């Protein structure tokens, strides 16, 4: 090789000439750019001196093939940088007489990208397995338990047994809600976001009223009022909006002043649908406000509170899936969670 040529000087590939004993006889400037090594630090030394110990035997075998007249193409090993780190190099080497001409390209970044891709693929497999466990291996047996309890309730039972069966069904309902929350979290955080199925023909008002009534029945000590002034239908996933409202209402009842009313309001504002849930109680502390929509956040919970702290996170994800936004304002008078989303 002509070391005075422009190619020898400017190519990013490491070029070198090695003798039969594996000693570098000549190297180009790319060695310094890639490995921080000057010619005098490389030449007159065997290439084995720079190898990663784990690559020694493979490289020795490849060198034997070259010495027997076989070219070596795209052979990868690790070479030590002057700073002690290692870089992956991809080699091509051909014999010519008693000398061996080689070039190497730095493929460290490609190796990292490949490793990252493998990690992502493994993560995707884990995500699918995790969601499958929640969606099938946990929910199906729980449904079977719920069905068995319902069958037992239809059989002649003592008053005490019926009371125990009712508690069992409540536990099944609560466990099912927890599993659904974790499943939604897994889909939104590990997958592609919470899925929604919009409908342009289903009225939202009766769905909201039914959701509010369920919260009333579960919390007879807290009055819940409704005020609706929007036009039906609203282009949305009514089931998901009901889930959002249920999460907000449960949060409002839990953290509101006992006996004070909780208000659910909904109306149209231009091309937007706006819904709010307001309660009375202590204002949300400033240090908590920024964490409200984070998953598994349960600040200031009471002993009787159930759940994993996913309710507000899931509500925010439902709002985002509808192209909307969930916000909160809290002061001494009241705390108001507001959903604003386009009607179509």
- Residue 88 belongs to domain with CATH number: 3.30.450.20
Q: How many domains does the chain have?
A: 3
198 in a structural domain: no
Task: Say yes or no: 17 and 81 in one domain.
Answer: yes
Tell me the three state secondary structure of residue 236: strand
Q: Are residues 92 and 209 in the same domain?
A: no
Sign of CA dihedral 110, 112, 118, 119: negative
Residue where one domain finishes, among candidates 127, 161, 189: 189
How far is residue 5's CA from residue 13's CA, in Å, rounded to a whole number? 14
Same domain, 210 and 336: yes
Omega of the bond leading into 233 within 30 degrees of 0 (cis) = yes
Which letter, b or e, does each residue of 266-276 get, where b requires 16 or more Cβ atoms within 10 Å of its Cβ?
beeeeeebbbb
197: in domain: no
pLDDT at 305: 47
In this structure, the answer to whether residues 278 and 300 fall within a common structural domain is yes
Cα 47 from Cα 232, distance rounded (Å): 77
Alpha-carbon gap, residue 195 to 297, rounded angstroms: 22
* 166 and 235 co-located in one domain: no
- Give the pairing of strands 99-106 and 14-19: antiparallel
Residue 240 counted as domain residue: yes
Domain shared by 329 and 250, yes or no: yes
d(CA 108, CA 114): 10
Are 245 and 302 members of one domain?
A: yes
Q: Using the 3D structure, point to which of 75, 106, 137 is the last residue of a domain.
A: 106
Domain boundary among 124, 155, 189: 189
- The answer as to whether 194 is a domain residue is no
The confidence score (pLDDT) of residue 330 equals 93
Q: Is residue 338 part of a domain?
A: yes
Let me know: does 50 contact 77? Beta carbons within 8 Å. no
Tell the residue number behind the tokens 């995790």, with chain if given.
130
pLDDT in tens, the chain (344 residues): 566 677 788 899 999 999 999 999 999 999 999 999 999 999 989 999 999 999 999 999 999 999 999 999 999 999 999 999 999 999 999 999 889 999 999 999 998 888 888 877 777 777 666 666 666 677 777 888 888 888 898 889 898 998 888 888 878 877 877 777 777 777 676 666 678 888 888 899 999 999 999 888 888 899 999 999 999 999 999 999 999 999 999 899 988 988 899 999 999 999 999 999 999 988 998 888 888 888 766 555 444 445 557 889 889 999 999 999 999 999 998 999 999 999 88
* Domain with 282 in it: 205-342
Same domain flag for 228 and 326: yes
Scored b (16 or more CB within 10 A) or e, 64-87 reads: eebeeeeebeebbbbbbeeeeebb
Is residue 95 domain-shared with residue 117, that is, in the same domain?
no
- Picking from 193, 185, 219, the residue whose alpha carbon sits closest to that of residue 297 is 185
Q: Is residue 200 part of a domain?
A: no
Task: Looking at the structure, tell me whether residues 118 and 84 fall in a common domain.
Answer: no
State phi, psi for 139 to the nearest 5 degrees.
-70, -40
Same domain membership, residue 101 and residue 128 = no
Considering the domain boundaries, does residue 230 fall inside one?
Answer: yes
Q: What is the CATH number of the domain that holds 173?
A: 1.10.287
pTM of the model: 0.55
Whether 182 contacts 311, CB under 8 Å: no
Same domain, 331 and 277: yes
CATH (domain of 312):
3.30.565.10
- The SS3 of residue 197 is coil
Contact between 23 and 45 (Cβ < 8 Å):
yes
DSSP-H helix ranges across 68-204: 108-132, 139-153, 159-189
Question: Is residue 256 one of the residues assigned to a domain?
Answer: yes
Nearest to 322 by CA among 298, 301, 299, 341: 341
């Amino acid at each position: 090789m002509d070391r005075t040529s422009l190619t020898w000087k400017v190519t990013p590939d490491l070029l070198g000439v090695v003798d039969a004993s594996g000693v570098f006889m000549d190297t180009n400037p790319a060695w310094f750019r890639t490995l921080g090594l000057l010619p005098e630090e490389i030449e007159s030394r065997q290439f084995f001196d720079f190898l990663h110990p784990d690559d020694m035997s493979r490289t020795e075998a490849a060198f034997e093939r070259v010495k027997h007249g076989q070219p070596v193409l795209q052979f990868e090993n690790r070479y030590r940088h002057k700073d002690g780190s290692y870089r992956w190099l991809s080699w091509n080497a051909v014999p010519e007489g008693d000398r061996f001409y080689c070039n190497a390209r730095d493929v460290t970044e490609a190796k990292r990208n490949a490793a990252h891709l493998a990690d992502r693929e493994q993560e995707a497999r884990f995500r699918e397995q995790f969601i499958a466990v929640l969606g099938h291996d946990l929910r199906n047996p729980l449904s079977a338990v719920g069905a068995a309890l319902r069958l037992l309730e239809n059989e002649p039972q003592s008053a005490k047994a019926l009371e125990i069966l009712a508690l069992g069904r409540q536990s099944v309902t609560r466990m099912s809600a927890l599993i659904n929350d974790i499943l939604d979290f897994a889909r939104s955080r590990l997958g592609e976001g919470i899925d929604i199925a919009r409908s342009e023909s289903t009225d939202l008002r009766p769905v909201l009223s039914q959701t509010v009534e369920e919260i009333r029945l579960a919390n007879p000590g807290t009055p819940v009022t409704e005020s609706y002034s929007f036009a039906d239908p609203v282009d949305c996933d009514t089931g998901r909006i009901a889930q959002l409202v249920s999460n907000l209402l449960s949060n409002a009842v839990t953290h509101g002043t006992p006996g004070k009313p909780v208000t659910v309001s909904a109306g149209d504002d231009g091309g937007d649908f706006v819904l709010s849930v307001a309660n009375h109680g202590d204002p949300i502390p400033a240090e908590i406000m920024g964490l409200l929509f984070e998953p598994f956040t349960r600040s200031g919970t009471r002993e009787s509170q159930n759940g994993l702290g996913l309710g507000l996170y899931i509500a925010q994800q439902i709002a985002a899936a509808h192209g909307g936004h969930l916000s909160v304002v809290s002061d001494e008078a009241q705390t108001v969670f507001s959903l604003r989303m386009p009607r179509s």
